[in-house]
Amino acid sequence: MRIYVYGASNPEVVKLISEVIELQLVGFVDDNPTDATFLGYDVRLPHSLGGAQNVVNTVCSSTYARRDVWDKIQGMGHTPTSLIHPSVSHRMAEVGQGAYLQENVMIQAGCVLGENVSIHMGSLIGHETCIDNHVFVAHGVNVCGRVNINEGAYVGAGATILPGVTIGAWATVGAGSVVTKDVPAGATVKGSPAK
């Protein structure tokens, strides 16, 4: 499958795509390209793609930006496409359209991931966890079992979320935090225990 990548700033994406045999990178799409090429691939403005294309959303600057790019991809008639590293087993789990899952992510049985979810390398998503649309989970996060992470939440690198906790919509969990109780929608928490 031929794909475009939305967001021309992370060389790891090219490496990841090279490891997924059925995908062929055509080029990048970016709202504010700094150069006409990125790692030897053309970088185009979104309106210049023409025709329906398969587009992977790798934008991670914020979950609001991630959601806006998702809406833009669909609004232009393109297909949001998943990019899942071959080391990721999502057997006995549901993964929504447009997922971006980097290497060594572990997704246990009974998990449900919504659309446009981004989970970075080495994160563990424990059994029966539900992750809603547009959520970003950074590197090395440990999400214990039966956790709910609601729409647009952002979980920083190395955070740990204990069993049964709910992270509210559009909330932020700081890097390295240990979350022991529910986080309200829109809140920012950090520390150990997270407050």
Angle made by CA atoms 94, 99, 104, in degrees to the nearest 5: 85
Query: Averaged over 112-134, what is the pLDDT?
Result: 98
Helix (H, G, I), strand (E, B) or coil at 109: coil
Helix (H, G, I), strand (E, B) or coil at 47: helix
Per-residue pLDDT tens digits for 45-102: 998 888 899 999 999 989 999 999 999 999 999 999 999 999 999 999 999 999 999 9
Q: Helix-strand-coil percent breakdown of the chain, rounded to 5? A: 10, 30, 60
pLDDT at 170 over 90: yes
pLDDT reported for residue 38: 94
| Dist. CA 76–CA 190, nearest whole Å | 38
- 79 in Cβ contact with 54 (< 8 Å): yes
- Output phi, psi for 15, to 5 deg: -60, -45
Angle made by CA atoms 97, 118, 34, in degrees to the nearest 5: 105
Of the listed ranges 12-16, 100-104, 173-177, 181-185, the one predicted with least confidence: 12-16
Helix (H, G, I), strand (E, B) or coil at 55: strand
Q: Kindly name the residue from 47, 120, 127, 139 that is annotated as catalytic.
A: 127
**pLDDT band for position 125 (cuts 50, 70, 90):** very high
Decide if 78 is catalytic.
no
| Dist. CA 78–CA 183, nearest whole Å | 35
- Output phi, psi for 176, to 5 deg: 75, 5
Q: State how far Cα 88 lies from the chain centre.
A: 14
**pLDDT band for position 19 (cuts 50, 70, 90):** very high
Residue 25 pairs with which residues in a beta bridge? 3
Amino acid at 54: N
Task: Provide, rounded to the nearest whole percent, the portion of the chain with pLDDT above 90.
Answer: 93
Q: 5: burial class by Cβ within 10 Å (0-12, 13-18, 19+)?
A: buried
pLDDT reported for residue 126: 98
For the chain, which domains are there? 2-81 (3.40.50.20), 83-189 (2.160.10.10)
